[in-house]
A and B are shown apart, each in its own frame.
Chain A
C-alpha cells in the first residue's frame, strides 16, 4: 500500500524503452539515447523516466530524442532542446544553477559543517584526571553498600 503510486505506472509502464521496433540502427547512438531517456521525466507519470514509462507521451518523447540523436545533436543539445520545449520539469536531474545550489551543495555543506564541529571538539581532548583519594573512598564506600 505504500507503493500505490508505483502501481499506476505498473499498469501502463511496461518497460517500453527497449522495444526492438523503435531502436536506432547504430548501437552507440541507441546506447546514448537510452542513457538520456533515464534523465528525462515522463511528464504525465508520477516519478518515472521515459525509459521506464509506457505512457503515450513518453513514447513521443523517446521518438523525439531518438530523432535528435540520429540528427547529430549532442546530449547537451538534446537536453537544452527539451528544457526549451517543456521547461526544467522535464529533467529528472535538476540543472546545476543558482536556484538549485542549495539542493546540490547541501550534502557537502552538512559534511563540512560536521567535520568542522568534530575537529573543534576533539581538539579539547585531554586525558581524564585520575580519581582523587576522596573519590576513591566514596567509591569504596559505595561498593560496600551493594557488593557487585
Chain B
C-alpha cells in the first residue's frame, strides 16, 4: 500500500517534471527563428529548375511557375513576424503541480486504491499453501492444474484433477485430464472407465461412440470391472437391445458381492427397465454400481470437507439456490446418493414455488456421473 503511494507520487512528480523540463528547453531555444515556411518555399523554388531538367516543365511554364513560387516566398518572408511574448513561468509551475495533484484526487473517486493485484498465479500459490478443506472444487482444480504442469505424467494426480474439475462443473476439462491420464497409464481400467463416464457427461448422459470405446478398453483390462460392465450394458439398452442389456445387468448383479451397497440400485433399475422396456430417462441419472471414486486421497477429503461446510451453512441460510445446486452436485460427485436425495428433498421443499430453481437442482443432480 505504501509502496503503491510511493510509486504514485513518483509518477506524478515525473509528469510534472516533464512539463517543467520541456518548458525549460523551450526557454533556452533561440528566440529568433526564421519562419519554417520560408525555408520550405525556398526549397520549392529550387525544385522548379529540377522539374525543367527532367523535362516536366518547359521554359515558358518555368517563368510562370517561378513567378508564382517567388510571390509565395516573398509574401511569406515579408509577413511581419509574430510578437512572441515571454513569461508564463508561474502558469507552467502551477500546471506542473496542480495537474498531478488533481489526477490523484480524481483517482481516489474513480479507482480502487489499495486493491492488490490478483493474478491467477499468485492466487493458485495461495490456495496451494492453504488448508485444502477451505477450498472449493474449482480452487482445487486450479491448484491441481498447476501441479499437473509440474508432474504431467502422474496418473493419480490427473485423476484427482478430473474429479475436481467435474466437481467444479467443468466436464470438458475433466475429460481432457482423463484423456491425458489414460495416455500416461493406458493399463489402468479405472481411468478408462472414468474417461467413459466423462464422455457420457459431455454428451448429456448418452453413451456415445467415444464412451463405449473407453468402457471397452476398461473391460479388456479387467473383464470383471463392474462400472464398465454396467455402462456397456446400459448402452445396449439405450441402443434398443433391451434383452441383451438386461441379461448383462443380471449377470453383473449376480457377480456383485452380497454386501455391495450398489446392488439395490442396480436391482431397482433392472426392475424398472423390465417393466417399461426402456431406460427411465426422467429419473435420476444411472445409479448403478459406480465405485466411489472420490473417496481416495487428500483431494477427496478436501472436497468432503468443503461439502460438509456448505451443508452446514445451508442449514443456517437455506435461501440460496446456488448453494443447494452446488451441494447436490457435490454429493453426486462423491457418490453419496442418500445424502443427495435428502438434500434434494429439502431443497425442493424450500423452492417449491420456483420452477426455475427446481430445474437447476435437477440438472445439478444429473450433471456428473
Chain B interfacial positions (CB closer than 8 Å to A)? 34, 39, 42, 46, 60, 63-68, 70-71, 73-74, 77-78
Contacts and interface: CB of A to CB of B under 8 A. Distances in A.
Interface of A: 127-131, 135, 138-139, 142, 146, 148
Nearest to A145: B77
Nearest to A129: B67
A146 B77 CA distance: 11
Given A127-B64, A128-B67, A130-B63, A139 B74 contact: yes
Residue among B42, B63, B70 having the largest count of chain A Cβ atoms under 10 Å? B70
Contacts of B64: 127-128, 130
A110 to B, nearest CB: 30
Contacts of B78: 138
A139 B41 CA distance: 12
Nearest to B43: A148
B63 A135 contact: no
B134 to A, nearest CB: 40
A135 B73 contact: no
Given A139-B73, A142-B73, A142-B77, A131 B46 contact: no
B34 A131 contact: no
Given A128-B64, A130-B63, A146-B34, A139 B46 contact: no
Given A127-B64, A128-B64, A135 B70 contact: yes
Given A146-B34, A148-B42, A148-B46, A128 B68 contact: yes
13 contacts: A127-B60, A130-B63, A131-B66, A131-B67, A131-B70, A135-B67, A135-B70, A138-B78, A139-B70, A142-B73, A146-B39, A146-B42, A148-B42
A128 B71 CA distance: 11
B74 A135 contact: yes
Contacts, number: 31
A139 B68 CA distance: 12
Nearest to B45: A148
Contacts of A127: 60, 64
B67 A130 contact: yes
Given A148-B42, A148-B46, A142 B67 contact: no
Nearest to A132: B67
Contacts of B71: 131, 135
Nearest to B63: A130
Given A131-B66, A135-B71, A139-B70, 19 more contacts: A127-B60, A127-B64, A128-B64, A128-B65, A128-B68, A130-B64, A130-B67, A131-B67, A131-B70, A131-B71, A135-B67, A135-B74, A138-B74, A139-B74, A142-B73, A142-B77, A146-B34, A146-B39, A146-B42
A134 to B, nearest CB: 10
Contacts of A142: 73-74, 77
A131 to B, nearest CB: 5
Contacts of A139: 70, 73-74
Contacts of B39: 146
A79 B39 CA distance: 65
Nearest to B74: A138
B133 to A, nearest CB: 43
Contacts of A138: 74, 78
Contacts of B68: 128
Contacts of B34: 146
B76 to A, nearest CB: 10
A131 B75 CA distance: 13
Nearest to B76: A142
Nearest to A139: B70
A128 B64 CA distance: 5
Contacts of A146: 34, 39, 42
Contacts of B42: 146, 148
A129 B67 CA distance: 7
A138 B42 CA distance: 14
Contacts of A129: 67
Contacts of A148: 42, 46
Nearest to B71: A135
A146 B74 CA distance: 13
Contacts of A135: 67, 70-71, 74
